[in-house]
Chain A
Amino acid sequence: MLTTVVGSYPKIPNRPRPARLRAAIARLERGEIGQDELRQVEDEVTIEVIQEQVEAGIDIANDGQIRWEDDQTYLACRMGGFTIDGLIRYFDTNTYYRQPVVRGAVQWREPITAEDYRFAAAHSPRPVKALVTGPYTLAALSANEHYGSFGELVLALARELRQEVLALEKAGAPIIQVNEPAILKQKEDFPLFRQALEQMMEGVAAEAHLCTWFGDIEGLFPQILELPFSAIGLDFVMGPANYEVIRRASFTKKLGLGIVDARNTKLETVEQIVERIRRVSDVVPLGSLYVNPSSRLEYLPRETAQAKLVRMVEGVRRAQEVLA
């Protein structure tokens, strides 16, 4: 069993620790500092959040997406074909993102996150996982004013984001996670989803993970196991049906077990974590489990996020003793 995280980490701590990134962005907006100085603070905060993960005992860390405004904009505004529009709610959260609008042919121009990966890997004592927002979700959360159909946009994004995946692979990322929460809201699109992801991931040798959150895969199982990923990440907090769904066929991949609630401050007990692992342990061997929060920890205050990771690791260690 390995422990990991699935998305962005809270960008600023609470008092008395200083909110350096928030202050730096405010200074940038006032024209008091330039991009280079912001980048310096982003670097420092990235190192800090990797350290917090490592201190908590996380086996596979990520860079906390400290540089990302949100999962869509960071990629979209660095690709051709997009403009960025007004604020819109991200699923059923109280978090908002600026909606990308597709106004022309989408085009990958140069590596977007490869340098971020290299930086994080160079400053982490543990392996670092890279991530990209998948083509289906990026399309679903954007407004399409260019392509004749939603499907065309999804396939075009798959073709372009493939370049980003290859760039991450070349940069040495041992694991590349593709985030696709939106497919859980439009399950009838699975044939399109499959076509897009097969195209995007063809010939990728790095270990690839498909990650979902905010729902269950009822209706997508077991077909989802046919996709070209070695692990499938599921949210068992907002998608408790996943516990039953994954019993309906042999689970032939590794499972990303999202069992620690990333959207509520209430701290799970060690016993709860052990029990949740136990519930899947007869379906997926312990050695095929990645245990992680249910979605991005950025929904929590920074200190709570780290406390959740500490508790998660405690729970996994206990489970290793009692379930092995």
Chain B
Amino acid sequence: MSKGLLTTTVGSFPKPDYLARARNQFSLGKIGHEELAALERQATAEVIRLQEEIGLDILVDGEMERGDMVAFFAELLSESMAIGGLVRSYGNRYYRKPIITGKLHWQGPMTVEMWRYAQGLTDKPVKGMLTGPYTMVEWSFDEYYDSRREAVLDMARLLREEVKGLVEAGAKYVQVDEPAIHTRPEEDFDLAVEAMALVVEGIDCEFHTHICYGEVGLIYPDMLRLPVKQIHLAFKNTDFEYLKLLEKHPFDKDKDLGVGVVDAHNHVAESVDEVKEGIRETLKLMPPERVWIEPDCGLKTRTWEEAAAKLRVMVQGVREVRRELGIDG
């Protein structure tokens, strides 16, 4: 493997049309779980093949069995969570906001089977993907706990069991996403750090986290206290403004930086030059061996073709910069 500018993705891939249709039919009771699961596996295999063909270094299973990143886990945590009614997030967008209804506890593996299936299809490492404890609680109603703190820490304890399951199955990388971490930075950042530690500490695995765009400036450099090896931010969406944060306060020298170089929320593929420019700007502040190149966010809202096009451009840009720098590709 190369000595710098490793490539990976943030987790989700677009669902092929046949799977989107099958999920809809399943929700209407027209097909059974086995039929749906078979199509999820078929799509997962396609996602793995696509990533191999494009030449990514660390793969993901693409989350073909997941819809919403919180509701997916909430549904499986059926003894302590329920799926609630529709709540508007903005404009004409709604989501089913889960409800914490009892003491949170792990009921058994939620992501291990799909991870193991995906890893069985490739020689490249497949990254385990989890939604972090702070985000899981923040994006749910809580009818059980007296405080957010108790809920977040119990959520962290149960996610730790899931991490252990992934690591026992052989995962070398696990990403714990915390897109909601900057919701109440003054009040809750310590709690988010404490919770992340509960999920990951003492487990032999390389941990990554993804922090979505939002008030990132408010939690930098505090975010460096998160006990993970790599922190990924959506650089492209903000035209690499976050580099100014790193100029003011250097990134932790023991951590890696995940750099989003293609926007996950527009249709048009970036140019290779744009990608290279973003990488070069980053390399003014960070050595290549501590920089990972990724899209800004999960790709599930793109079409299959858009996602593939963006990743091809990204990998091409990385290859050219590696060549210029004399890094093994």
Contact = CB atoms under 8 A, between A and B. Distances in A.
Chains A and B bind each other: yes
B138 A94 contact: yes
Interface residues of B, number: 22
A317 interface: no
Most A C-beta atoms less than 10 A away, residue of B91, B139, B142 = B91
A144 interface: no
A95 B184 contact: no
Contacts of B90: 70, 87, 95-98
Contacts of B316: none
Interface string A11-25: 110100001001001
Given A265-B143, A301-B97, A69 B84 contact: no
A248 interface: no
A11 B97 CA distance: 15
B183 interface: yes
B92 A89 contact: no
A202 interface: no
A92 B184 contact: yes
B141 to A, nearest CB: 4
A265 B138 CA distance: 14
Contacts of B108: none
B26 to A, nearest CB: 16
B138 to A, nearest CB: 7
A301 B180 contact: no
B141 A264 contact: yes
A69 B92 CA distance: 8
B94 A12 contact: yes
B88 interface: yes
B214 interface: yes
A98 B92 CA distance: 12
A77 interface: no
Contacts of B87: 10, 298-301
Given A22-B94, A265-B143, A266-B141, A303 B86 contact: no
Contacts of B138: 94
A238 to B, nearest CB: 11
Contact of A92 (B89, B139, B183): B183
Of all A-B residue pairs in the complex, the 7 with the closest CB atoms, nearest first, are A301-B85, A96-B90, A266-B143, A14-B85, A265-B141, A25-B92, A92-B184
